[in-house]
Amino acid sequence: MTPNRRRFLQTAAGAGIGAAAFAQPGVQPAGGTFVHPRKVQLWESTRKEFREAIEGGSLKAMILPTGSTEQHNEHLAMINDTASVTLIAELAALRLYPQVMVATPVPVGISPHWMDRKGTLTLTRETFLAVCFEICDSLKQHGVQKILILNGHGGNVRPLRESLPEFRQKLGIQIEFNSYWDAYTKDIVNKHMESGVAPGHAAEFETSLAMAAFPRARALGGRGLRQG
């Protein structure tokens, strides 16, 4: 990874959705003291840990990552969107620890447009939205009053945006929505990217993030970046 790529990733922190120091995941929480990333993962918490966080009043909000399992060209893993958005969610939560935790990610999204590429999994709009809603409902039943649905897959954007009013009205809690790439302004993109295209699919943006965030994954760098 080039220094330029690392700087590009760090701009996520500057924009507020990402978190500091991709070089040291989990080492930059609020206050600068070490917090293990597991601390913000609902699925790694015991019921005692979660109960005490919510009943003790320290936990104020949760992030629900939504991703996909879909083809990402020849060089990125199918789980790329889910893995990327979950990482950003965790890094953001670590910056706000102990006030924010991350709910179990939704690993399959709305991807009918990639079903001609082998390996892609897709949910119908109705099923996907029902899963997201019922996770929010579960959190609400446990006392969570604020949820950010943080998305990592383009096909999920419109359905989730359109459903927000209904989610809010049915649950009576604060629910917000962003895709993690919303944090990248045109200036940031122009400064750090060659193509100037963000997010794009399996191209420079996603590949750069994957190479920095998941260096052991099978990201092949400059090879196979063409759409296909």
Whole-number minimum distance, CB 214 to Zn ion, in Å? 13
Q: Give CA separation, 99 vs 54, 58, 89, 91, 94, in Å.
A: 9, 5, 13, 13, 9
Q: State the Cα–Cα distance between residues 135 and 128, nearest whole angstrom.
A: 11
Q: Structure tokens of 67? A: 């991703």
Is residue 62 classed as helix, strand or coil in its secondary structure? strand
Nearer to Zn ion, 26 or 152 (CB): 152
Judged by CB under 5 A, which of 41, 71, 81, 87 binds Zn ion?
81
Q: State the Cα–Cα distance between residues 202 and 92, nearest whole angstrom.
A: 23
Whole-number minimum distance, CB 35 to Zn ion, in Å? 28
Whole-number minimum distance, CB 181 to Zn ion, in Å? 10
8-state DSSP, 61: E
Task: Determine if 90 is a binding residue for Zn ion (CB under 5 A).
Answer: no
> Of the ranges 19-27, 31-39, 78-86, 120-128, which one interacts with Zn ion (CB under 5 A)?
78-86
What is the size of the binding site for Zn ion (CB under 5 A)? 3
Whole-number minimum distance, CB 201 to Zn ion, in Å? 5
Footprint on this chain of Zn ion (rule: CB under 5 A): 80-81, 206
